[in-house]
Chain A
Amino acid sequence: MSASAGAEGSDPNLTPLLDLVLQLIMFFMITVNFVRVDQFADEIILPVAQNATPLDNTAEEFLFLNLNFKGDLVGTLSNYALDTPGKMKVFLTRERVELERASRDKGNKGPTKIVIVLRADQNCRYRDVWSVLDSCKQAGFVHWQLRVMTKAG
């Protein structure tokens, strides 16, 4: 509050406002979840399974595969012509080797736990889901996750 000559001026008290703003910033900083664009494809509509388990990040490395309703791999993988199981196997094997190398570079010793995260569209065929999983198996992957929505909408 400051006073000019003969008049009483008033400044707004910004302290509560500032408190609120900082609290909001803290809330958003804690709950922020940055998503890498190469992990998700907007066109994928995940199926609903209420009994699925919540997400966890216990694996060392993840490889995201987005499967659209036609059974094609989309997202950044759409740049590759992965139209046959053989090409898929070669691509996935190379990815696995690179992820293992990256993990070793980080100082991890021993076998690297790499999880395939399959985000399959609810309208894609069960055969296509298995075709991708079979390619993963051929490429030497062991762990996989099927992403679903735990609530509709």
Chain B
Amino acid sequence: MGHTEEGGVNLAVIITPFLDMAFQLLAFFIMTYNPSALEGHINGALVPPSKVATVNKNDKNVKEDPDPLTSVDDIDLTETTIVTVKSVLAGQPEGDRVDGEPSRILLKRVEDTAATRVVDGNVSLKEELKGLERKLKEGAKGAVKANIRIEGDGELKHQFVMQVYDVCKGAGYQNVSFVAPAAKPRNP
């Protein structure tokens, strides 16, 4: 505030404290800024134990699951493609693949009678995943082949299961389900 030559009063807003506060707010938000858009999720649903106990292939009500992407054990296998991922055992590396990495990936499509390895021979994991994608895309052309089930070994590292999931989704399968690994075999 100041006086004019005519005896009047100049009124001016003192913006310094306002500016200080604005800069402090800006500094706070810059420091706490955390872009988390890179994180995504995979949805799933578990069957309550009571439902598992009463599950029946003829009981259609049991299949009314809240989410199509499930870990449900009650999926009609006659219309399900099954991807089995075997892991390299501890202390038994196979070529360049070590403990926890996939040893081989097997595929059993709806029309197959048995699971077969997606790529024969000693190939890299990347090539094997590409082989899986190629075969899945061939299978995904059919309308009934919408369900796919991933059966991973218990010793498999989580990231490789996710890689297989990624390949399945990329090949056009929408209903991807996971299966609990088999119980660890006891030592004789």
23 contacts between A and B (CB under 8 A): A17-B19, A18-B18, A18-B22, A47-B159, A47-B161, A49-B162, A50-B170, A52-B41, A53-B40, A56-B41, A123-B159, A124-B157, A129-B161, A137-B46, A137-B49, A140-B48, A142-B46, A143-B43, A143-B66, A146-B41, A148-B40, A148-B162, A149-B39
Query: Is B144 an interface residue when CB atoms closer than 8 A count as contact?
Result: no
Q: What is the total of A-B residue contacts with beta carbons within 8 Å?
A: 162
B94 at the interface (CB under 8 A from A): no
Q: How large is the interface on B (under 10, 10 to 19, 20 to 34, 35 or more residues)?
A: 35 or more
Chain A positions within 8 Å of B155 at CB level? 125-127
B131 at interface by CB-CB < 8 Å = no
Q: Say whether chain A's binding surface is mostly helix, strand, loop, or mixed.
A: mixed
Tell me the chain A residues, 77-113 only, with Cβ under 8 Å from chain B: none
Q: Is B45 within 8 A of A142, CB to CB?
A: yes
Instruction: Check if A133 sits within 8 Å of B42, measured CB to CB.
Output: no
In angstroms, Cα B38 to Cα A50, docked, is 10
A131 CB to nearest B CB, Å: 9
B33 contacts A49, CB within 8 Å?
Answer: no
Residues of A within 8 A of B (CB): 2, 14, 17-18, 21-22, 24-25, 28-29, 31-35, 46-56, 117, 120-127, 129-130, 133-134, 136-138, 140-151
Q: Determine whether the beta carbon of B33 is less than 8 Å from that of A138.
A: no
Contact A143 B154 (CB under 8 A): no
Q: Please name the 4 residue pairs, one residue from A and one from B, whose CB atoms are nearest each other, closest first.
A: A28-B29, A127-B154, A52-B40, A51-B169
B contact set with A: CB distance below 8 Å: 2, 15, 18-19, 22-23, 25-26, 29-30, 32-49, 66-67, 71, 100, 152-159, 161-163, 165-166, 169-170, 180-181, 184
* Residues A148 and B41 in contact in the complex (CB < 8 Å), given A122-B158, A137-B47: yes
If A18-B19, A49-B42, A143-B44 touch, does A120 touch B181 (CB 8 Å cutoff)? no
- Which residues on the B side are within 8 Å of A146 (C-beta)? 41-42, 44, 162
Cβ-defined partner of A49 (8 Å) among B15, B29, B40:
B40
Query: Judging by beta carbons under 8 Å apart, are A125 and B162 in contact?
Result: no
A120→B48 CA distance, assembly (Å): 22
B156 touches A126 (CB 8 A): yes
Asked if B46 and A144 sit within 8 Å, CB to CB, the answer is yes
